[in-house]
Structure 1
Protein backbone atom coordinates (compact mmCIF):
# COMPACT_ATOMS: atom_id res chain seq x y z
CA UNK A 1 0.00 0.00 0.00
CA UNK A 2 1.38 3.46 -1.02
CA UNK A 3 2.16 5.98 1.62
CA UNK A 4 0.64 9.46 1.69
CA UNK A 5 3.10 11.97 0.33
CA UNK A 6 2.29 14.33 3.17
CA UNK A 7 3.11 11.67 5.74
CA UNK A 8 6.48 12.19 7.46
CA UNK A 9 8.70 9.08 7.61
CA UNK A 10 8.72 7.64 11.11
CA UNK A 11 12.15 7.83 12.71
CA UNK A 12 13.69 8.21 9.26
CA UNK A 13 12.81 4.59 8.32
CA UNK A 14 11.03 5.50 5.07
CA UNK A 15 12.11 7.54 2.12
CA UNK A 16 9.86 9.87 0.13
CA UNK A 17 8.58 6.96 -2.01
CA UNK A 18 7.63 4.94 1.02
CA UNK A 19 10.56 2.50 0.82
CA UNK A 20 12.25 1.46 4.03
CA UNK A 21 15.80 2.69 4.47
CA UNK A 22 18.40 -0.07 4.86
CA UNK A 23 21.22 0.94 7.17
CA UNK A 24 24.56 0.31 5.56
CA UNK A 25 27.12 -1.75 7.46
CA UNK A 26 29.88 0.58 8.79
CA UNK A 27 32.49 -1.87 7.53
CA UNK A 28 31.06 -1.55 4.01
CA UNK A 29 31.27 2.23 4.24
CA UNK A 30 35.08 2.10 4.51
CA UNK A 31 36.91 2.94 1.27
CA UNK A 32 37.92 -0.02 -0.77
CA UNK A 33 41.64 -0.73 -1.12
CA UNK A 34 42.57 0.11 2.51
CA UNK A 35 42.79 -2.50 5.24
CA UNK A 36 40.88 -2.15 8.53
CA UNK A 37 42.44 0.33 10.95
CA UNK A 38 45.40 0.81 8.58
CA UNK A 39 47.16 4.17 9.17
CA UNK A 40 47.13 6.51 6.23
CA UNK A 41 50.83 7.19 6.44
CA UNK A 42 51.61 3.50 5.76
CA UNK A 43 50.21 3.91 2.28
CA UNK A 44 53.30 6.02 1.31
CA UNK A 45 55.97 4.19 -0.66
CA UNK A 46 59.22 3.51 1.24
CA UNK A 47 62.40 3.91 -0.81
CA UNK A 48 65.75 2.48 0.35
CA UNK A 49 69.11 2.46 -1.34
CA UNK A 50 70.84 -0.83 -2.11
CA UNK A 51 73.38 -0.21 0.66
CA UNK A 52 70.68 0.58 3.24
CA UNK A 53 68.68 -2.48 2.20
CA UNK A 54 71.77 -4.69 2.53
CA UNK A 55 72.47 -3.24 6.00
CA UNK A 56 68.91 -3.95 7.13
CA UNK A 57 69.08 -7.45 5.74
CA UNK A 58 72.36 -8.10 7.53
CA UNK A 59 70.83 -7.03 10.85
CA UNK A 60 67.67 -9.07 10.48
CA UNK A 61 68.57 -12.24 8.54
CA UNK A 62 70.11 -15.35 9.97
CA UNK A 63 73.85 -16.14 9.57
CA UNK A 64 73.04 -18.87 7.06
CA UNK A 65 71.36 -16.45 4.64
CA UNK A 66 73.13 -15.68 1.36
CA UNK A 67 72.83 -11.94 2.02
CA UNK A 68 74.60 -12.28 5.36
CA UNK A 69 77.33 -14.48 3.86
CA UNK A 70 77.92 -12.02 1.03
CA UNK A 71 78.10 -9.06 3.43
CA UNK A 72 80.53 -10.94 5.66
CA UNK A 73 82.73 -11.89 2.70
CA UNK A 74 82.78 -8.25 1.58
CA UNK A 75 83.82 -7.15 5.07
CA UNK A 76 86.63 -9.71 5.21
CA UNK A 77 87.90 -8.69 1.77
CA UNK A 78 87.94 -5.04 2.85
CA UNK A 79 89.92 -5.93 5.99
CA UNK A 80 92.40 -7.98 3.96
CA UNK A 81 92.88 -5.15 1.46
CA UNK A 82 93.42 -2.70 4.31
CA UNK A 83 96.09 -4.93 5.88
CA UNK A 84 97.86 -5.35 2.54
CA UNK A 85 97.97 -1.58 2.05
CA UNK A 86 99.40 -1.11 5.55
CA UNK A 87 102.11 -3.72 4.93
CA UNK A 88 103.02 -2.21 1.55
CA UNK A 89 103.29 1.30 3.01
CA UNK A 90 105.42 -0.04 5.86
CA UNK A 91 107.79 -1.78 3.42
CA UNK A 92 108.08 1.34 1.29
CA UNK A 93 108.85 3.44 4.37
CA UNK A 94 111.52 0.95 5.45
CA UNK A 95 113.07 0.95 1.97
CA UNK A 96 113.11 4.74 1.93
CA UNK A 97 114.75 4.92 5.35
CA UNK A 98 117.26 2.16 4.56
CA UNK A 99 118.48 3.64 1.28
CA UNK A 100 117.97 7.32 2.10
CA UNK A 101 121.71 8.04 1.58
CA UNK A 102 122.05 6.13 -1.68
CA UNK A 103 122.34 9.18 -3.93
CA UNK A 104 124.89 10.85 -1.63
CA UNK A 105 127.09 7.76 -1.43
CA UNK A 106 126.85 7.27 -5.19
CA UNK A 107 128.22 10.80 -5.65
CA UNK A 108 131.18 9.93 -3.40
CA UNK A 109 132.25 6.91 -5.47
CA UNK A 110 134.37 9.02 -7.90
CA UNK A 111 136.46 10.13 -4.90
CA UNK A 112 137.28 6.51 -4.15
CA UNK A 113 137.99 5.91 -7.84
CA UNK A 114 140.53 8.73 -7.93
CA UNK A 115 142.25 7.46 -4.79
CA UNK A 116 142.42 3.97 -6.31
CA UNK A 117 143.82 5.42 -9.53
CA UNK A 118 146.52 7.33 -7.63
CA UNK A 119 147.58 4.18 -5.80
CA UNK A 120 147.67 2.17 -9.02
CA UNK A 121 150.63 4.21 -10.39
CA UNK A 122 153.24 3.93 -7.66
CA UNK A 123 156.10 2.10 -9.45
CA UNK A 124 159.65 3.56 -9.55
CA UNK A 125 158.86 6.43 -7.19
CA UNK A 126 161.40 8.31 -5.08
CA UNK A 127 161.35 7.88 -1.27
CA UNK A 128 159.65 11.25 -0.89
CA UNK A 129 156.86 10.23 -3.26
CA UNK A 130 156.49 6.88 -1.54
CA UNK A 131 155.73 8.67 1.70
CA UNK A 132 153.07 10.64 -0.17
CA UNK A 133 151.58 7.39 -1.48
CA UNK A 134 151.39 6.05 2.07
CA UNK A 135 149.37 9.12 3.04
CA UNK A 136 147.01 8.61 0.08
CA UNK A 137 146.54 4.96 1.04
CA UNK A 138 145.71 5.92 4.64
CA UNK A 139 143.23 8.53 3.40
CA UNK A 140 141.55 5.93 1.20
CA UNK A 141 141.24 3.48 4.10
CA UNK A 142 139.76 6.13 6.40
CA UNK A 143 137.32 7.26 3.72
CA UNK A 144 136.28 3.68 2.94
CA UNK A 145 135.83 2.97 6.66
CA UNK A 146 133.60 6.04 7.06
CA UNK A 147 131.26 5.11 4.23
CA UNK A 148 131.24 1.48 5.38
CA UNK A 149 129.44 2.55 8.56
CA UNK A 150 126.56 3.63 6.29
CA UNK A 151 126.41 0.20 4.60
CA UNK A 152 128.72 0.79 1.62
CA UNK A 153 131.14 -2.03 0.78
CA UNK A 154 133.15 -3.10 -2.25
CA UNK A 155 132.06 -6.12 -4.30
CA UNK A 156 134.49 -8.93 -4.93
CA UNK A 157 136.51 -8.14 -8.04
CA UNK A 158 139.98 -9.66 -8.26
CA UNK A 159 142.09 -11.11 -11.01
CA UNK A 160 141.56 -14.86 -11.32
CA UNK A 161 137.99 -15.12 -9.97
CA UNK A 162 135.11 -16.26 -12.16
CA UNK A 163 133.15 -13.59 -13.96
CA UNK A 164 129.78 -12.98 -12.29
CA UNK A 165 127.31 -10.95 -14.38
CA UNK A 166 125.33 -10.04 -11.25
CA UNK A 167 128.20 -7.97 -9.80
CA UNK A 168 130.60 -7.56 -12.74
CA UNK A 169 130.31 -5.56 -15.95
CA UNK A 170 132.50 -6.80 -18.81
CA UNK A 171 134.02 -3.93 -20.74
CA UNK A 172 136.22 -6.11 -22.97
CA UNK A 173 138.03 -9.41 -23.34
CA UNK A 174 141.71 -10.43 -23.32
CA UNK A 175 143.68 -13.61 -23.91
CA UNK A 176 145.70 -14.59 -20.87
CA UNK A 177 147.12 -18.13 -21.02
CA UNK A 178 147.66 -18.26 -17.26
CA UNK A 179 143.95 -17.81 -16.59
CA UNK A 180 140.99 -20.02 -17.36
CA UNK A 181 138.20 -19.06 -19.69
CA UNK A 182 135.64 -16.55 -18.37
CA UNK A 183 137.81 -15.41 -15.48
CA UNK A 184 138.52 -11.81 -14.51
CA UNK A 185 141.78 -10.75 -16.15
CA UNK A 186 141.83 -7.10 -15.07
CA UNK A 187 139.81 -4.81 -12.79
CA UNK A 188 139.14 -1.46 -14.44
CA UNK A 189 136.88 0.04 -11.78
CA UNK A 190 135.74 -1.28 -8.41
CA UNK A 191 132.07 -1.98 -7.74
CA UNK A 192 130.12 -1.30 -4.54
CA UNK A 193 127.03 -2.49 -2.67
CA UNK A 194 124.83 -0.48 -0.32
CA UNK A 195 123.31 -2.64 2.41
CA UNK A 196 123.21 -5.63 0.11
CA UNK A 197 121.85 -3.76 -2.93
CA UNK A 198 124.21 -3.38 -5.87
CA UNK A 199 125.03 0.30 -6.20
CA UNK A 200 127.54 -0.07 -9.05
CA UNK A 201 128.96 -3.18 -10.73
CA UNK A 202 132.71 -3.68 -11.03
CA UNK A 203 134.03 -3.03 -14.52
CA UNK A 204 136.42 -5.82 -15.56
CA UNK A 205 138.20 -7.38 -18.52
CA UNK A 206 137.24 -11.02 -19.06
CA UNK A 207 139.65 -13.70 -20.20
CA UNK A 208 138.74 -15.66 -23.34
CA UNK A 209 140.88 -18.57 -24.56
Structure 2
Protein backbone atom coordinates (compact mmCIF):
# COMPACT_ATOMS: atom_id res chain seq x y z
CA UNK A 1 0.00 0.00 0.00
CA UNK A 2 1.23 3.34 -0.85
CA UNK A 3 1.80 5.98 1.65
CA UNK A 4 -0.98 8.08 0.11
CA UNK A 5 -3.50 5.33 0.63
CA UNK A 6 -2.37 4.83 4.18
CA UNK A 7 -2.75 8.50 5.03
CA UNK A 8 -6.19 8.66 3.39
CA UNK A 9 -7.20 5.59 5.33
CA UNK A 10 -5.93 7.14 8.57
CA UNK A 11 -7.86 10.31 7.82
CA UNK A 12 -11.04 8.36 7.20
CA UNK A 13 -10.57 6.38 10.40
CA UNK A 14 -9.95 9.58 12.35
CA UNK A 15 -13.07 11.09 10.81
CA UNK A 16 -15.08 8.02 11.77
CA UNK A 17 -13.71 8.23 15.31
CA UNK A 18 -14.71 11.91 15.40
CA UNK A 19 -18.23 10.96 14.28
CA UNK A 20 -18.37 8.27 16.95
CA UNK A 21 -17.27 10.80 19.57
CA UNK A 22 -19.91 13.26 18.29
CA UNK A 23 -22.58 10.56 18.51
CA UNK A 24 -21.43 9.75 22.05
CA UNK A 25 -21.51 13.45 22.99
CA UNK A 26 -25.03 13.80 21.57
CA UNK A 27 -26.14 10.70 23.48
CA UNK A 28 -24.67 12.13 26.69
CA UNK A 29 -26.40 15.47 26.06
CA UNK A 30 -29.73 13.73 25.49
CA UNK A 31 -29.22 11.71 28.67
CA UNK A 32 -28.32 14.90 30.59
CA UNK A 33 -31.43 16.65 29.26
CA UNK A 34 -33.57 13.65 30.23
CA UNK A 35 -32.11 13.66 33.77
CA UNK A 36 -32.62 17.42 34.05
CA UNK A 37 -36.27 17.05 32.95
CA UNK A 38 -36.86 14.22 35.43
CA UNK A 39 -35.19 16.22 38.20
CA UNK A 40 -37.33 19.29 37.50
CA UNK A 41 -40.49 17.17 37.47
CA UNK A 42 -39.52 15.54 40.77
CA UNK A 43 -38.80 18.98 42.24
CA UNK A 44 -42.22 20.25 41.06
CA UNK A 45 -43.92 17.13 42.48
CA UNK A 46 -42.20 17.67 45.84
CA UNK A 47 -43.29 21.33 45.90
CA UNK A 48 -46.88 20.37 45.02
CA UNK A 49 -46.88 17.73 47.77
CA UNK A 50 -45.59 20.32 50.27
CA UNK A 51 -48.32 22.80 49.27
CA UNK A 52 -51.00 20.09 49.38
CA UNK A 53 -49.80 19.01 52.83
CA UNK A 54 -49.86 22.61 54.07
CA UNK A 55 -53.40 23.11 52.70
CA UNK A 56 -54.56 19.83 54.27
CA UNK A 57 -53.03 20.86 57.61
CA UNK A 58 -54.80 24.24 57.52
CA UNK A 59 -58.12 22.61 56.62
CA UNK A 60 -57.74 20.02 59.37
CA UNK A 61 -56.99 22.80 61.82
CA UNK A 62 -60.00 24.87 60.75
CA UNK A 63 -62.54 22.17 59.99
CA UNK A 64 -61.32 19.19 62.04
CA UNK A 65 -63.91 19.86 64.74
CA UNK A 66 -66.83 19.90 62.30
CA UNK A 67 -68.12 16.49 63.35
CA UNK A 68 -68.04 17.37 67.05
CA UNK A 69 -69.63 20.77 66.37
CA UNK A 70 -72.35 19.14 64.26
CA UNK A 71 -73.02 16.69 67.09
CA UNK A 72 -73.36 19.60 69.57
CA UNK A 73 -76.00 21.44 67.52
CA UNK A 74 -78.94 19.40 68.90
CA UNK A 75 -77.81 20.42 72.41
CA UNK A 76 -78.02 24.06 71.31
CA UNK A 77 -81.45 23.46 69.73
CA UNK A 78 -82.82 21.81 72.87
CA UNK A 79 -81.53 24.54 75.17
CA UNK A 80 -83.04 27.18 72.88
CA UNK A 81 -86.39 25.36 72.81
CA UNK A 82 -86.37 25.11 76.62
CA UNK A 83 -85.71 28.83 76.97
CA UNK A 84 -88.31 29.76 74.34
CA UNK A 85 -91.00 27.50 75.86
CA UNK A 86 -91.04 29.26 79.23
CA UNK A 87 -93.25 32.26 79.80
CA UNK A 88 -92.37 35.27 81.96
CA UNK A 89 -94.56 34.07 84.83
CA UNK A 90 -92.89 30.64 84.93
CA UNK A 91 -89.47 32.24 84.60
CA UNK A 92 -90.05 34.26 87.78
CA UNK A 93 -91.09 31.15 89.75
CA UNK A 94 -87.94 29.19 88.95
CA UNK A 95 -85.58 32.00 88.02
CA UNK A 96 -82.42 30.32 89.34
CA UNK A 97 -83.06 27.25 87.17
CA UNK A 98 -83.58 29.31 84.03
CA UNK A 99 -80.58 31.48 84.81
CA UNK A 100 -78.52 28.27 84.86
CA UNK A 101 -79.95 27.15 81.53
CA UNK A 102 -79.23 30.60 80.03
CA UNK A 103 -75.65 30.50 81.33
CA UNK A 104 -75.20 27.02 79.87
CA UNK A 105 -76.53 28.24 76.53
CA UNK A 106 -74.24 31.29 76.58
CA UNK A 107 -71.20 29.13 77.40
CA UNK A 108 -72.05 26.68 74.60
CA UNK A 109 -72.28 29.57 72.11
CA UNK A 110 -68.94 30.96 73.39
CA UNK A 111 -67.19 27.59 73.07
CA UNK A 112 -68.54 27.05 69.56
CA UNK A 113 -67.52 30.61 68.64
CA UNK A 114 -63.94 30.04 69.83
CA UNK A 115 -63.75 27.20 67.34
CA UNK A 116 -65.10 29.23 64.42
CA UNK A 117 -68.74 28.15 64.64
CA UNK A 118 -71.23 30.98 64.11
CA UNK A 119 -75.01 30.98 63.82
CA UNK A 120 -76.99 31.66 60.67
CA UNK A 121 -80.06 33.41 62.08
CA UNK A 122 -82.48 34.45 59.37
CA UNK A 123 -85.42 36.64 60.32
CA UNK A 124 -89.01 36.49 59.13
CA UNK A 125 -89.16 38.66 56.01
CA UNK A 126 -85.56 37.96 54.91
CA UNK A 127 -85.03 36.60 51.41
CA UNK A 128 -84.50 32.83 51.14
CA UNK A 129 -80.84 31.96 50.38
CA UNK A 130 -80.35 28.35 49.25
CA UNK A 131 -76.66 28.61 50.20
CA UNK A 132 -77.57 29.06 53.89
CA UNK A 133 -81.22 28.03 54.27
CA UNK A 134 -83.18 24.83 53.81
CA UNK A 135 -86.82 25.29 52.85
CA UNK A 136 -88.93 22.95 54.97
CA UNK A 137 -92.24 24.04 53.43
CA UNK A 138 -93.82 26.65 51.16
CA UNK A 139 -97.08 28.41 51.87
CA UNK A 140 -98.92 31.37 50.37
CA UNK A 141 -99.00 34.07 53.06
CA UNK A 142 -100.82 37.32 52.30
CA UNK A 143 -98.62 40.41 52.36
CA UNK A 144 -95.39 38.55 51.49
CA UNK A 145 -93.42 38.09 48.30
CA UNK A 146 -92.35 34.77 46.85
CA UNK A 147 -89.10 33.61 48.37
CA UNK A 148 -89.49 35.50 51.64
CA UNK A 149 -88.94 33.62 54.87
CA UNK A 150 -92.22 33.29 56.76
CA UNK A 151 -91.04 31.06 59.63
CA UNK A 152 -87.70 30.00 61.15
CA UNK A 153 -87.72 26.50 62.65
CA UNK A 154 -84.03 26.12 63.54
CA UNK A 155 -80.98 28.29 63.17
CA UNK A 156 -78.17 27.27 60.87
CA UNK A 157 -74.47 27.20 61.60
CA UNK A 158 -71.25 27.98 59.74
CA UNK A 159 -67.77 26.79 60.68
CA UNK A 160 -65.44 29.47 59.38
CA UNK A 161 -66.61 29.83 55.77
CA UNK A 162 -68.32 26.44 55.38
CA UNK A 163 -71.94 25.63 56.07
CA UNK A 164 -72.22 23.21 58.97
CA UNK A 165 -76.02 23.07 58.97
CA UNK A 166 -78.51 25.18 56.99
CA UNK A 167 -81.17 27.17 58.83
CA UNK A 168 -84.52 25.42 58.45
CA UNK A 169 -87.17 27.86 57.28
CA UNK A 170 -90.66 28.14 55.80
CA UNK A 171 -90.86 30.14 52.58
CA UNK A 172 -93.68 32.16 51.01
CA UNK A 173 -94.96 30.85 47.71
CA UNK A 174 -96.98 33.95 46.75
CA UNK A 175 -96.77 34.83 43.10
CA UNK A 176 -97.32 38.57 43.53
Does 2:109 correspond to 1:140?
A: no
| Cα deviation digits, residues 152-197 of structure 1 (max 9, x gap) | 1101322111111111111111222232210111111111111222
Inter-partner Cα distance in structure 2 for 1:61 and 1:191: 70
- Aligned CA-pair RMSD: 2.4
Q: Shift of residue 106 of structure 1?
A: 1.6
Name whichever structure is richer in helix by fraction: 2
If asked which structure has higher relative contact order (CA below 8 Å, sep 6+), I would say: 2
Inter-partner Cα distance in structure 1 for 2:25 and 2:103: 79
TM-score in terms of structure 1 length: 0.63
Aligned counterpart, 2:151 = 186
Aligned counterpart, 1:204 = 169
| Cα deviation digits, residues 78-118 of structure 1 (max 9, x gap) | 11111111211221122222222222222211111011112
Does 2:57 correspond to 1:88?
A: no
**Secondary structure, counterpart of 2:104 in structure 1:** helix
Q: Is the 8 A contact 1:193 1:200 kept in 2?
A: yes
Unaligned runs of 5+ in 2: 1-23
Inter-partner Cα distance in structure 1 for 2:43 and 2:67: 37
Report which of the two structures shows the higher radius of gyration computed on alpha carbons: 1
Matches within 5 A, 1:103-114: 103-114=67-78
Aligned counterpart, 1:162 = 127
Q: Shift of residue 203 of structure 1?
A: 0.8
